């Protein structure tokens, strides 16, 4: 049976914190471009803090990609994302004019809160119904006295 590309993608997406990771990536991109933006008569210049205004969004994008790629470490990536989203308020133009900060906070919360789907009851029953090879273990064999070699001191 051949499955469609969309069905394969949906199955893959459900095995990881996809929506939270995408929100975190979008927040990082928004924070990155907020440093090179002009809003009305306000011209945002990158000064001495320019390095952190470039590094923090890149780290946030990386955390979003890693949360999607490695869902086993989602809690670590989500917590670090929350820390960087709060710090971006100071380090990246008010957190990317608050939009990036809010997106990364919501994405980090979704990454932390995501849980993998539990196995259904039918699959566990099928595993235990399979015949297994039983080996007999005699207690006498386990606890039988064996001659010990003597070592010189």
Q: Where are the domains of the chain?
A: 5-113
Which of 51-55, 67-71, 122-126, 134-138 is least confident? 122-126
Does the pLDDT of residue 136 top 80, yes or no? Answer: no
- 62 token code pair: 């990386």
Q: Is the pTM of the predicted complex or chain greater than 0.85?
A: no
* CA–CA distance, 8 with 77 (Å, rounded to integer): 25
Kind of pairing between the strands at 38-39 and 42-43: antiparallel
pLDDT in tens, 4-59: 888 889 988 999 999 999 999 999 999 888 876 666 776 666 666 677 888 899 99
pLDDT at 63: 96
Q: Are 84 and 59 in contact (CB under 8 A)?
A: yes
Q: Are 84 and 61 in contact (CB under 8 A)?
A: no
pLDDT in tens, 83-92: 999 998 888 8
Q: Provide the phi-psi class of 49: left if phi over 0, else alpha when psi is between -120 and 50, else beta.
A: alpha
Burial class (CB in 10 A: 0-12, 13-18, 19+), 11: exposed
* CA–CA distance, 105 with 125 (Å, rounded to integer): 40
- If one counts every other C-beta atom within 10 angstroms of the C-beta of residue 86, the result is 15
Burial class (CB in 10 A: 0-12, 13-18, 19+), 111: buried
Share of the chain above pLDDT 90, in %: 41
pLDDT at 32: 87
């Amino acid at each position: 049976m051949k499955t469609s590309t969309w069905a394969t993608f949906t199955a893959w997406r459900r095995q990881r914190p996809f929506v939270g990771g995408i929100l975190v990536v979008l927040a990082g991109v928004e924070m990155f471009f907020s440093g090179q933006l002009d809003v009305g008569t306000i011209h945002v210049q990158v000064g001495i803090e320019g390095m952190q205004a470039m590094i923090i969004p890149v780290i946030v994008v990386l955390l979003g990609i890693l949360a999607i790629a490695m869902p086993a470490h989602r809690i670590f990536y989500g917590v670090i994302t929350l820390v960087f989203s709060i710090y971006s308020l100071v380090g990246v133009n008010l957190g990317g004019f608050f939009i990036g900060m809010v997106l990364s906070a919501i994405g980090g919360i979704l990454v932390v809160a995501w849980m993998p789907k539990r196995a259904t009851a039918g699959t566990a029953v099928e595993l235990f119904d399979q015949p297994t090879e039983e080996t007999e273990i005699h207690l006498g064999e386990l606890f039988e006295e064996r001659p010990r070699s003597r070592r010189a001191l």
